[in-house]
Amino acid sequence: MGPYEEHLSDAVLLEECFKNNRQAQNKLYEKYAPKLFGTCLRYAKNNTDAEDILQEGFIKIFKYLKDFRNEGYLEGWMRKIMVTTALNFYKKKNLLNKNINLENVNVASVAEPDAVSMMSNEELLSLVQQLPDGYRMVFNLYSIEGYSHKKIGEMLDISINTSKSQLARARISLQHKLYNLSEQERISQMVG
């Protein structure tokens, strides 16, 4: 199925969803939940939180579906809702520490973690989930969603410098984790 047919079948599904057709809503959920769960997992600490975010996100999707009206791609629109839901999930839990003063971190000196590109999605996801909440949110929003530090600052209610320094610290943390993993692998190869 090409992008046009995909878009067309979504349009038909949406029309039925607007009429509160439960079957159509279930189909829409079944079609997109697995993809969107991947997005939730990146922001969540664990599977349980990811499942909560997914459910909460879909409640919002069905609530605001009438606002979508086939402008742009449905999946992209739904992903944005999931990202916002994830951010709000952690804001509500008050786990995003906005008061950390990281203004003095020298961001320019942080190297890109080259090893990240060589990892599988599962390995990277596992490492990203281990990051503290603030670092994880900024890392995802900047490196994966492509938001600017200005936009991230607005979304998380933090300064641009805090966003930059949290990204820097997230990368440093990931580099340490990657280094530790490669060391463990090297040692196990020597032993084996």
Contact 113, 99 (CB under 8 A): no
pLDDT digits (tens, 9 = 90+) for 118-160: 556 677 788 888 999 999 999 999 988 899 999 999 999 999 9
Distance CA 62, CA 17 (A): 8
Helix axes 74-92, 149-156, angle to 10 degrees: 50
Contact 152, 92 (CB under 8 A): no
The torsion region of residue 163 among left (phi > 0), alpha (psi -120 to 50) and beta comes to alpha
Q: Helices (DSSP H) in 130-159: which residue ranges?
A: 133-139, 149-156
Contact 9, 27 (CB under 8 A): no
Q: What is the model's pTM?
A: 0.70
CA of residue 63 relative to chain centroid, distance:
21
Domain 107-191 has CATH 1.10.10.10: yes
* The pLDDT of residue 111 is above 90: no
> Options 3.30.2130.10, 1.10.1740.10, 1.20.1440.230, 1.20.1600.10; which CATH number does 3-92 get?
1.10.1740.10
Contact 85, 56 (CB under 8 A): yes
Tell whether the torsion through CA atoms of 169, 172, 176 and 178 is positive or negative: positive
**Percentage with pLDDT > 90 across the chain:** 44
pLDDT digits (tens, 9 = 90+) for 36-72: 999 999 999 899 999 999 999 999 999 988 888 666 6
What pLDDT, on a 0 to 100 scale, did the predictor assign at position 135?
Answer: 92
Q: Which two tokens stand for residue 183?
A: 């060391």
* The pLDDT of residue 110 is above 60: no
**Where exactly does CATH 1.10.1740.10 map onto the chain?**
3-92
Of 122 and 117, which is predicted with more confidence?
122
What pLDDT, on a 0 to 100 scale, did the predictor assign at position 49?
Answer: 93
* The pLDDT of residue 114 is above 70: no
Pick the closest to residue 138 from 158, 124, 121, 114 (CA basis).
Answer: 158
Residue with tokens 């994880």: 136
Cα torsion through 19, 23, 24, 28, rounded to 10: 140
**Where exactly does CATH 1.10.10.10 map onto the chain?**
107-191
